[in-house]
A and B are shown apart, each in its own frame.
Chain A
Amino acid sequence: MSETEQIEELPENFKELERFVSAWSLASEQERNRKRRSSSMHEIRRFYDAMLQRMPEVSKHLNGFNLQELPQRECRLLNLAFSFMEIASAVEVYSSPDVPDAIEAERLTILTP
């Protein structure tokens, strides 16, 4: 198995989401928000549709784990779920990657640890 494949690996039942890992499985709020703002609605929509389907199983799967002791693959899945929550309003509320009529994103520094 090549290194990239390992890096993008998700738990057994979620293989079809692995194509989103490199773009969307991001560890920090800052990265997830930057990815959201730099993506097209088309790309966001594709990710949203795929995730929306699977979110109930994603949370069911992760439910058995402790947040502080997540294995790598579960951790990647959790970060995908976080990205889903990051982009959901782009699709459901704003119909735009970023928040319209808000202060410019660059003016707000995200210091979240």
Chain B
Amino acid sequence: MSDAFAPSAKPWQVSIEPNISSGYFEAERSRLFKHVWFQLGRVEVIPNPGDYFVRQIDVLGASVIVSRGRDGVLRAFHNICRHRGNRVVKQAAGSAKAFSCGFHGWTYNSEGALVNIPLEQEFRGCDKADLSLIPLAIEVWEGFIFVHLNIEPEESLRDYLQPVAGLLDGFPFAEMELSGWWSARLASNWKTFQDAFIEAYHVLAVHRRSIPDFRSDPIVPTAQSLGRHCKLTYYQNLHHEPKPAEAMAFELSSLAFLNAGDANELKTRRWASLNFERRDNWVFDEFVIFPNFHLFLGDGWMLCHEFWPVDVDHTDWHVKYYQQRTTSPTVRIAQEYSKVAMRDAIREDLSTIESTHAAQRSGAMPFMTLSPSLDALIIHHHGVVAEYVGARLTGIEP
């Protein structure tokens, strides 16, 4: 899809059909979502043997248990009892020596092995060893837990993430601490929802209040296709005049949100992976990990969006904001400014999504008209989805 990023490219007309068609959604379900790695969260969430969490993945109709065994190893299982298929774990998260099914009491250990069948003599000839919880493939990259429906995936996680995986070596993921977590279910197709977070063109209008003096230099943020993934680099107005609370936050700590910090300092930071172009007005890089995980990385913070399709018209979204761990109350005050600014801006972002989907749903308009530069990542992302589905991005180049 790299031609989408060619400077000479003409605007693209991309069909609305994939955003509103149930048939297309079914194709995404069977040809895309069953064949990709999904990011489910950070390893720090389940640090100790016996810790687990459960995630519902609606698009796959699956409930997945991620568990840390007594051996310290992470495993993922379908949350399905091998007796008659009841959900084994009902809690969203916790710590347990064993998982016991509430229907008839079959019990599994943290490694997924079936350890007890009440009245086992009535199941003569069954070997418990054959009836472990059904595993998914699980791998960890930079502390992010990924699972794959296929226990023997076509590609390892590392291969799947290429060329992104190597780019971020050195970002201090382990120093990040969860400081904000927001979620919503919107009446929108998952792609339309994501599209609102992969371009900076909207800042001028959507964020006209919160970021009134936005000026990107260059005007168009740098878009880069990275295999099925992609990346956008955002710039800020260096002549931005901070309001009092913002100025205070930056004075208290260089880790406040939009402050890119000292450019020279940045150049020498160990996470040389960011700000590839070494611009003084760099503010953050956004990595779009296919299909539904967006990772924003800045100086001392990261933001993780997850977009979970429910059906063609609904999406569950979670966003987690992480900031550099600190013991200083003063730094925390500065970070609180950044977190609130981030959350308020995200509420502005969410304002357009349902109305866009509803309007597209009417079917009155056949295609979107996308700029090859400003909307580059949208073209890229819809194109990769189409490749998986076996469709073509229709209406290309008018």
Contacts and interface: CB of A to CB of B under 8 A. Distances in A.
Interface of A: 29, 33, 52, 55-56, 58-59, 62-63, 65-68, 70, 74, 78, 81-82, 84-86, 88-89, 92-94, 99-103, 105, 107-113
Interface in B239-271: 243-246, 248-249, 252
B192 to A, nearest CB: 14
Nearest to B328: A67
B182 A102 contact: no
Contact of B209 (A93, A103, A109): A93
A101 B180 contact: no
B182 A89 contact: no
A74 B350 contact: no
30 contacts: A52-B244, A59-B330, A59-B333, A62-B329, A62-B333, A65-B329, A67-B326, A67-B329, A67-B332, A70-B329, A81-B333, A84-B245, A88-B246, A89-B340, A92-B243, A92-B245, A93-B209, A99-B210, A101-B209, A102-B344, A102-B347, A103-B351, A107-B184, A107-B186, A108-B184, A108-B343, A110-B181, A111-B181, A111-B182, A111-B183
A113 B329 CA distance: 17
A88 B339 contact: no
Chain A contact residues, majority secondary structure: helix
A74 B344 contact: no
B350 A63 contact: no
Contacts of A67: 326-329, 332
A56 B252 CA distance: 9
A22 B209 CA distance: 31
Contact of A29 (B180, B209, B244): B180
Nearest to B210: A93
B327 A68 contact: yes
Contact of B244 (A62, A66, A68, A92): A92
Contacts of A63: 328-330
B199 to A, nearest CB: 18
B333 A113 contact: no
A58 B344 CA distance: 25
B333 A88 contact: no
B122 to A, nearest CB: 44
Interface string B179-201: 11111101000000000000000
B311 interface: no
- Most-contacted residue by chain B among A63, A82, A92 (CB, 10 A): A82
A61 to B, nearest CB: 9
B336 interface: yes
Chain B contact residues, majority secondary structure: helix
Contact of B252 (A59, A65, A84, A94): A59
A85 B182 CA distance: 18
B115 interface: no
Given A78-B332, A81-B333, A108-B347, A88 B244 contact: yes
Contacts of B181: 110-113
B178 interface: yes
A29 B339 contact: yes
B337 interface: yes
Given A105-B347, A110-B182, A100 B209 contact: yes
B348 interface: yes
B341 interface: yes
Nearest to B179: A112
- Most-contacted residue by chain A among B183, B209, B329 (CB, 10 A): B329
Contacts of B343: 33, 108, 110
A108 B182 contact: yes
Contacts of A113: 178, 181
Contacts of A78: 329, 332-333
Interface in B294-350: 318, 326-330, 332-333, 336-337, 339-341, 343-344, 346-348, 350
B340 A85 contact: yes
Given A85-B333, A102-B350, A109 B244 contact: no
A29 B243 CA distance: 22
B245 A82 contact: no
B347 A99 contact: yes
Given A94-B210, A112-B179, 16 more contacts: A52-B245, A62-B329, A63-B329, A78-B329, A88-B340, A93-B210, A99-B344, A99-B347, A101-B209, A107-B184, A108-B182, A110-B182, A111-B183, A112-B178, A112-B180, A113-B178
